[in-house]
Each structure stands twice: as C-alpha cells, then as structure tokens.
Amino acid sequence: MKILITGACGFIGHHVVEHFLLNTDYKIIGLDKLTYAANGFNRLRDAGCLDNPRLTLHACDFTLPISCGLIDEIGNVDYIFHLGAETHVDNSISNPEPFVMSNVVGTMRILDFARKQKRLKHFFYFSTDEVFGPAPIGTEYGEWDRYNSTNPYSASKAGGEELCL
C-alpha cells in the first residue's frame, strides 16, 4: 500500500505519518509547503520518522498544479489523506487570501490529482468543526447540518468540503 499525506510536516500531519510508520508497512509520500505551520522537518525528525526508508517527502505548494515530474515521482497511491491547510483563525481575519488559496484552490488541486489515480481506494479530507459555527452548550452538530462559518478559515474549510462532495 502507498499513501499520500498532505501537510505531512504539520502539527496533526506528523502524528498521522508517525502512526502509519509505526502501525503499518505502508509506503508514505508526504507533501508539505513547509510554511510557518510546518516547523520544517523538525516534528518528523523529533518523532523519529525522518530517516525511515518508507517515508518520502516533497516540498510542494499544492495551490499550484502539481508538476508532471512530481506526479511521476509520487506514482499511483492507494489512499490520500488531505491535511494540508492554512489554519489560524486570527490570521485568516487579517489576511484571508492564503486560506482561500490553500483550503479551496489547494483542495481542488489535490482532488484533480486524485481523479487521475488508477488505484485510489479512498480520499480523506480533514476539515474543522468550525464550519458549523459556535455550538450552544449541549449542541452536537451532525455531518449534514448547515454550515455557519464565522471567519475566513472556517469558510474556506467549508469550501474544501463542498469540493470533496
């Protein structure tokens, strides 16, 4: 099995990479833009993942079309875990464009890559509960409840969800 993980160097992504390396024999391809959110390769290095021969990392800005050379390097994958995103709410309020580019356009690019995969079994999109807005005490939103995004971050994640559907 071979899986592609976007945002592989991020806070959640590096834990996902570590989990698969420790609990499977899968080959892992990690894509990351290596922005402020990634902290370089340090998280993967600290988790002991960086030198694992089953992990291949590529620096990639997936708001741009994935290059033919990178597509060839990645090859066909069985699963895609799309975690790569801009994430900080306060940053999204002061500068929403990177959030729209990463979380909407970037998701479209990864979906386009996925459509061309010959053996893809599943595509997993990681969103946020914030797409539903604030939850009054005792409220549990369901998957198909209406969006009520209250900031550009959550609105862009909702846009990515809609593209995945």
Give the catalytic positions in this structure. 129-130, 153
Quickly list H helices, the chain: 13-23, 42-46, 68-74, 89-94, 97-100, 106-115, 152-164
Say if CB 49 and CB 89 are below 8 A apart: no
Token pair 């990864």: residue: 110
Burial tier of 146 (Cβ tally within 10 Å: 0-12, 13-18, 19+): exposed
Check if the beta carbon of residue 43 is closer than 8 Å to that of residue 11. Answer: yes
